[in-house]
């Protein structure tokens, strides 16, 4: 059975990927993973394709034990893996709790890596992995220091893994969007001791456009997808402008 697997499936970008996968990719089925079981059930009822809902907390090791057992039992042909689960908090080192910082590391880095390694044995030539990153991966960002660092990990991991998988013909793309307006990420990120650490989000994109371009770029086997004008410029300018100057500009812009 040829399937797609999407994490972070209950809302935002993950949910949009599911919609576009069943329209554009047409696998035999989709496995959807998130913590909120009721949201997953809603998606399953909407889907024209067979859906397996897996209400798992990917920050817990038991989630991967269950997933490994299910993969071993079903032995699917995973054609597409979208690691869209992610978490952010805004604020400096005094305004973001140690627990929230650890949660970002656990979900954005460890869970993404564990998910990739768990699914890879069930992927064959032509399969694709989309590691959902962020344009914040291209430079350190005060007030998003841990989050941007986790996304730098995702970018580096994705690019290296892509080379390691050349021999198997499996494509890996790091998807690095700017802020996305119609997701929960901004609201959750602002729920911290300093909700005004970043005040405005000009030129924020929309999930439908990001998912569409990301799926296209992965088909083209691009190592990095910058699916909007802001992320493209961040990626380009970070190659030429000194990092300290970029950080200084960011510090000014986020206070406007």
- The residues annotated as belonging to the active site are 147
Alpha helices (H) along 27-165? 37-46, 61-74, 98-104, 112-119, 145-164
- The count of residues in the chain is 256
Give the pairing type, strands 77-83 and 128-132: parallel
Tell me the sheet residues that pair with 83: 7, 131
Measured on CA atoms in the order 108, 111, 112, 113, is the torsion positive or negative? positive
Look at residue 205 and give its three-state secondary structure.
strand
Q: Is the separation of the CB atoms in 20 and 80 below 8 Å?
A: no
Q: Which residues contact 182 (CB under 8 A, 6 or more apart)?
A: 12, 206, 207
Measured N-to-C along each axis, helices 37-46 and 12-20 cross at an angle, to the nearest 10 degrees, of 20
CA dist., res. 110 & res. 92, Å (int): 22
């Amino acid at each position: 059975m040829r399937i797609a697997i999407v994490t972070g499936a209950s809302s935002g970008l993950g949910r949009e990927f599911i919609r576009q996968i069943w329209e554009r990719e047409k696998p035999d089925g989709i496995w959807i993973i998130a913590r909120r079981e009721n949201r997953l059930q809603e998606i399953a009822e909407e889907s024209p394709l067979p859906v397996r809902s897996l209400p798992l907390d990917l920050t817990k090791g038991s989630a991967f034990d269950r997933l490994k057992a299910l993969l071993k039992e079903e032995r699917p042909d995973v054609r597409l893996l979208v690691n869209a689960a992610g978490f952010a908090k805004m604020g400096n080192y005094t305004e973001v709790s140690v627990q929230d910082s650890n949660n970002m590391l656990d979900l954005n880095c460890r869970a993404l890596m564990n998910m990739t390694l768990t699914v890879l044995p069930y992927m064959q030539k032509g399969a694709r992995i989309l590691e959902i990153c962020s344009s914040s991966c291209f430079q350190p960002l005060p007030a998003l220091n841990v989050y941007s660092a986790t996304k730098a990990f995702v970018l580096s991991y994705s690019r290296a893994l892509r080379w390691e998988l050349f021999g198997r013909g499996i494509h890996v793309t790091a998807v690095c969007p700017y802020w996305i307006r119609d997701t929960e990420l901004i609201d959750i990120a602002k729920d911290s001791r300093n909700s005004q650490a970043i005040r405005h989000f000009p030129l924020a994109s929309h999930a439908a456009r990001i998912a569409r371009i990301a799926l296209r770029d992965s088909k083209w086997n691009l190592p990095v997808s910058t699916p909007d004008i802001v992320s493209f410029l961040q990626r380009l300018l970070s190659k030429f402008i000194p990092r300290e100057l970029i950080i200084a500009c960011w510090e000014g812009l986020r206070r406007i």
